[in-house]
Amino acid sequence: MALIVQKYGGTSVGSTERIIAVAEKIMATRAQGHDVVVVVSAMSGDTNRLIDLAKSITDRPKDCEFDVLLATGEQVTISLLSMALHSAGCPARSYTGTQVRILTDSAHTKARILDIDDKAIRADLTTGKVVVVAGFQGVDEQGNITTLGRGGSDTTAVALAAVLKADECQIYTDVDGVYTTDPRVVSEARRLDKICFEEMLEMASLGSKVLQIRAVEFASKYNVPLRVLSSFVEGTGTLIAPEDEIMEQALISGIAFNRDEAKLTILGVPNEPGIASQILAPIADANIEVDMIIQNLGADNSTADFTFTVHNNDYKNAFAVLENCAKSLNAKDVTGDTRIAKISLVGVGMRSHAGIASSMFTALSDESINIQMISTSEIKISVVVDEKYLELGIRALHTAFNLEKTEVK
Ligand code: ADP
Ligand code: ASP
Ligand code: MG
């Protein structure tokens, strides 16, 4: 007998019919003799609907009230799923984050889980109940309701699995596993049987929203066996495992992409020590996160152009900060572009193979795609291109690196 944590995402519980189907899946797992703790998201579209409701009242809702609102989405699904289980004759009990006491810090809308009280859950499991927990939410020391950021139910599930020392954490979603790239964008994408934590972490942080980054971090830190599967079709999905458990490692495992970044450039700043920090300090002070950075020297070496990327939501603010900075540095101009996209190749095989960057650049140039920025780390190479070439670029790379064909075991 095993203890399994199962998480069902928004589409998987998107209607009452789906909720009844999920109840049946849970009962099938129980019929195999396993204990089951279930984490659910809000019904698909509900979190967005709640955000729109708030925005129709004010552009700047108070964070703590915003979280009280957002947390209601998951409260709907835990109760409906428990009702569906009861109707089918299965003992079950629902818990909000506060009821469990999923303790978080007080960073509303992006809170981090600090601790989970597992007493009540364990007691319910001993009496044969299925425990249904609301994803995406917690409570801080002061008793305020918090939420964990978009996609946060994944993190609730993994954190619960870690605390309960579950045998597996199963993330049920609307695709049957982790693919070489988003299968909704590239139909040739191939499902991976296994991917290692490090690669999954890069994929998630570079834009693959199939798992929330923190969920992968938690799973890796506490060694939680994590599997992504479909709630719609049967299958074994994708196992996310430590690197040494993956026997045959492909050179490149996947391609992640992100449309949500924007690029800003300050032109003609003095080429002197301290300028980069004078540009980026006010950006940091405005609480804006910077991703890629490049600096080019002018022909005479006396001035430089400084370019960086930020999240699209921060573009307007960053532009205003940069215009101020341009005045004090006597810079030539400030320009920006929101129609960019970042494409990233991810694979631990890069560590031991040279020439991947040049193959990547050749594949893009064969399609006449201009590379605007480049950044690399040990297991990824990212490029920024014009947004209109995003799909073409991903397809070109998918073919160039034989991602349809390589067998990963
Ligand atoms: P849920 O509501 O179940 O949490 P999400 O929409 O958050 O589902 O995540 C599943 C989606 O992630 C898929 O529908 C797919 O479009 C997207 N996705 C992005 N990159 C990948 C990838 N590499 N493999 C699988 N799915 C991906
Ligand atoms: N309902 C939340 C969201 O839509 C959390 C989740 O689904 O994981 O982001
Ligand atoms: Mg999700």
pLDDT in tens, the chain (409 residues): 899 999 999 999 999 999 999 999 999 999 999 999 999 999 999 999 999 999 999 989 999 999 999 999 999 999 999 999 999 999 999 999 999 999 999 999 999 999 999 999 999 999 999 999 999 999 999 999 999 999 999 999 999 999 999 999 999 999 999 999 999 999 999 999 999 999 999 999 999 999 999 999 999 999 999 999 999 999 999 999 998 887 777 889 999 999 999 999 999 999 999 999 999 999 999 989 999 999 999 888 899 999 999 999 999 999 999 999 999 999 999 999 999 999 999 999 999 888 999 999 999 999 999 999 999 999 999 999 999 999 999 999 999 999 986 454 4
Ligand closest in space to the Cα of 13? 1
- Identify the pLDDT of residue 405: 60
| Residue 41 alpha carbon to ligand 3 centre in Å | 8
- Which is the closest atom of ligand 1 to the Cα of 153? 4
Unique residue bearing structure tokens 């998918």: 398
Q: Given the structure tokens 């809308």, which residue do they identify? A: 109
Q: Is the C-beta atom of 151 inside 6 A of ligand 2?
A: yes
| CB atoms inside a 10 Å sphere around CB 234 | 9
Q: Domain-by-domain residue ranges, the chain?
A: 3-174
Residues at CB less than 6 angstroms from ligand 1? 9-12, 41, 151, 173-175, 178-179, 181-184, 208-210, 254
Residue 14, CB-side half-sphere exposure with 13 Å CA sphere: 11
Which ligand minimizes its atom distance to the CA of 10? 1
The 8-class DSSP code of residue 115 comes to E
- Residue 199's Cα: distance from chain center in Å? 13
Q: Under the phi-then-psi rule, with left for phi > 0, alpha for psi from -120 to 50, and beta for the rest, what region is 274?
A: left
Q: What is the pLDDT of residue 213?
A: 96
**H-helix or E-strand spanning residue 172:** strand 168-173
CATH T-level topology, domain 3-174: Carbamate kinase (3.40.1160)
**Which residues are registered as beta bridge partners of 173?**
230
Phi, psi (degrees; rounded to nearest 5) at 9: -80, 180
- Determine whether the shortest distance from the Cβ of 97 to ligand 2 is under 6 A: no
In this structure, which ligand is nearest to the CA of 210?
1
Identify the pLDDT of residue 107.
Answer: 95
Both tokens assigned to 251: 């050179």
Query: Does ligand 2 lie within 6 Å of residue 209's CB atom?
Result: no
For ligand 2, atom 8, the nearest C-alpha belongs to 151
For 310-321, b/e burial (b = at least 16 CB within 10 A) is beeebbeebbeb
Q: Are 326 and 333 in contact (CB under 8 A)?
A: yes
C-alpha distances in angstroms, 103 versus 106, 139, 141, 149, 165?
Answer: 9, 5, 7, 15, 18
Name the amino acid, one letter, at 157: A
Which of 8, 135, 19 is closest to 80 using CA atoms?
19
